[in-house]
Amino acid sequence: MRQNLVAGNWKMNLTYPEGMALVEEMARLAGEAAPAANAPQVVICPPFPLLHGVGQLLPKSANFHLGAQNCHQKESGAFTGEVSASMLASVGCEYVILGHSERRQYFGEDDKLLGQKLKAALAAGLKPIFCVGESLDTREADETFDYIAKQLTDGLFHLSNEEFAQVTVAYEPIWAIGTGRTATSAQAQEVHAFIREQIARAYDAQAALDTTILYGGSANAQNAKELFAQPDVDGGLIGGASLKAADFLAIIQSF
């Protein structure tokens, strides 16, 4: 179901005590804030070793959720060093980020593997946050829309209607990730509207209306309000600014 949502992707940052301190401060600040009618769902995605501890300390209000940054495509077995979707569910995860450009780029994750990971996540009852986004070269070559359409078709639209209904899409232009160079709200809106159109073609108009589409890439406390005010931007997938409690809270309060 389409909803306002902000997810914090901590990436490979914070030790256990640092993560606990951050989530404690977030819980304290969230507790002090006046309850807002349009408060978003909030998903915190720490590294694997911090998941259980962070889950224990999440603010007790119903709109805070735990998410992971990756999962393995198999249910269990001899895959040294890997973590399965059901293990994530067993420590309280409700969401998992899949298809992040850093996983595609540094770990060679392609559409076939991501398809398997999506299936594994869904089978374990996790809700995937599936990322798409173009490089600077692709944007400058004026190929953004073709590229995003292909990522969606090859990576995501093989899911059944029921499976797709569990998915949140995140548009993360690679050139905006960690660079301080945010997409303008018009650039974000244009691609989000395009993604919704593609969903309507692949599924139906209702599925397009029901899908939550997040923007990610140097979103912060200063630009979140304008980004989230766009009609097809339902929230954000936040990297750097999710590592500071006050900044992240300000983003949550930007609806």
Ligand X SMILES: O=C(CO)COP(=O)(O)O
**Site of interaction with ligand X (CB under 6 A):** 9, 100, 172, 177-178, 216-219, 237-241
218 is in an annotated binding site: yes
Dihedral of the alpha carbons of 111, 89, 163, 224, in degrees to the nearest 10:
-80
Nearest-CB residue for ligand X: 239
With tokens 């805070």, the residue in question is 64
178 is in an annotated binding site: yes
Closest CA to 99 of 111, 81, 87, 82: 111
Which of 100, 102, 109, 192 is the catalytic position?
100
How many whole angstroms separate alpha carbon 27 and alpha carbon 24?
A: 5
How many whole angstroms separate alpha carbon 255 and alpha carbon 252?
A: 7
Query: Min. distance of Cβ 25 from ligand X in angstroms?
Result: 19
Beta strands in 33-126 (DSSP E): 41-45, 64-68, 93-98
217 is in an annotated binding site: no
Query: Min. distance of Cβ 217 from ligand X in angstroms?
Result: 5
Query: Min. distance of Cβ 8 from ligand X in angstroms?
Result: 8
Nearer to ligand X, 100 or 192 (CB): 100
Query: Min. distance of Cβ 195 from ligand X in angstroms?
Result: 16
Nearer to ligand X, 19 or 203 (CB): 19
235 is in an annotated binding site: no
119 is in an annotated binding site: no
- Burial (CB < 10 A; 0-12, 13-18, 19+), residue 78, is exposed
Which of 102, 109, 134, 172 is the catalytic position?
172
Nearer to ligand X, 15 or 179 (CB): 179
Is 197 an annotated catalytic residue?
no
Query: Min. distance of Cβ 93 from ligand X in angstroms?
Result: 16
How many whole angstroms separate alpha carbon 53 and alpha carbon 97?
A: 19
Q: Which tokens go with 126?
A: 């996790």
Is 65 an annotated catalytic residue?
no
Backbone angles phi, psi at 134, to 5 degrees: -100, 160
Nearer to ligand X, 98 or 118 (CB): 98
9 is in an annotated binding site: yes
Could you give the C-alpha distances from 2 to 30, 164, 198, in angstroms and in order? Answer: 23, 12, 16
Nearer to ligand X, 118 or 183 (CB): 183
- Burial (CB < 10 A; 0-12, 13-18, 19+), residue 104, is buried
Instruction: Please list the active-site residues.
Output: 100, 172
Residue set of the binding site for substrate? 9-11, 178, 218, 239-240
